[in-house]
Amino acid sequence: MFKDKELIIFDMDGTLIDSVPSLAYAINYMLRELKKSEYPEDTIRKWVGNGADILVKRALVGSKDYEGKDIDSNYFKKAKSIFLEFYGNNLNSKTTLYPRVKDSLEELKNRGYTLALATNKPIEFVGDMLEYFNIKSYFTIYLGGGSVEYKKPHPQILLKILEELKVKADKSVMVGDSSSDILAAKAAKIDSIALTYGYNQGIDLKTLNPTIICDNFEEILELF
């Protein structure tokens, strides 16, 4: 289906790695430091996928629907600082690579495809995590939160990758697990593969009309 493509762009959290246990660990540490109630990992899992700022805001109000809630800016900055420092010191303590990710990336690379990474995770964490799981060498370029002005679902990070690698949108595919990935791909006019096992925040990905939906990472190999 995608054999004529040149570039495959991957999301990170919920696509390559299950980072929720580590994120939940850090969020609950932050909440304890702020003398606020903690939340179960399954609840925090539904808040992940839009970057650190939004995750912290959702935790502070205890809901996915943080918009419109009054969050003092200084309080937010303090909370985010606590979260990022603790998370940075415990990046991989509870994070795991999803099944068949490493060998599938290797196979795609061996078939001649260029691989890139576009994540909303703060860029300062991305390289270390890729190295920890021994998959950094597969990616020609990786960008994260802070690499560009706008996070997904804005298409800027995808357009930046296309520009840097000099690849056209119609020769590229975005692989991700959330609405942010699919909407960013659509805005960039890139085909998309939606993965059902990640952090879709309760959204039925079919309603976003991705190019194709896969239930497991290794199914991607059948498309290229």
- For the chain, what are the domain ranges? 7-18+95-223, 20-89
Q: What does CATH list as the number for 7-18+95-223? A: 3.40.50.1000
| Per-residue confidence (pLDDT) for residue 98, from 0 to 100 | 97
Residue of 49 and 115 predicted with greater confidence:
115
* Cα–Cα distance for residue pair 46/48, rounded to 1 Å: 6
| Per-residue confidence (pLDDT) for residue 50, from 0 to 100 | 80
42 counts as catalytic = no
Amino acid identity for residue 217 in this structure: F
Determine the average pLDDT of the residues in 44-59: 90
Grade residue 99 by pLDDT with cuts at 50, 70 and 90.
very high
In the predicted structure, residue 155 carries a pLDDT above the cut 80: yes
In the predicted structure, residue 66 carries a pLDDT above the cut 90: no
| Per-residue confidence (pLDDT) for residue 160, from 0 to 100 | 98
Cα three-residue angle 99-23-174, rounded to 5 degrees? 50
Of 4, 11, 70, 177, catalytic? 11
Give the tens place of pLDDT for each residue, 11-51: 999 999 999 999 999 999 999 999 999 999 999 999 987 88
Sorted by sequence, the CB contacts under 8 Å of residue 186 that are 6+ apart come out as 192, 208
Determine the average pLDDT of the residues in 152-160: 97
Q: Is the pTM of this model over 0.85?
A: yes
| Per-residue confidence (pLDDT) for residue 56, from 0 to 100 | 96
In the predicted structure, residue 201 carries a pLDDT above the cut 80: no
In the predicted structure, residue 135 carries a pLDDT above the cut 80: yes
Q: Which architecture does CATH list for 20-89?
A: Orthogonal Bundle (1.10)
Do residues 178 and 201 make contact, with C-beta atoms less than 8 angstroms apart? Answer: yes
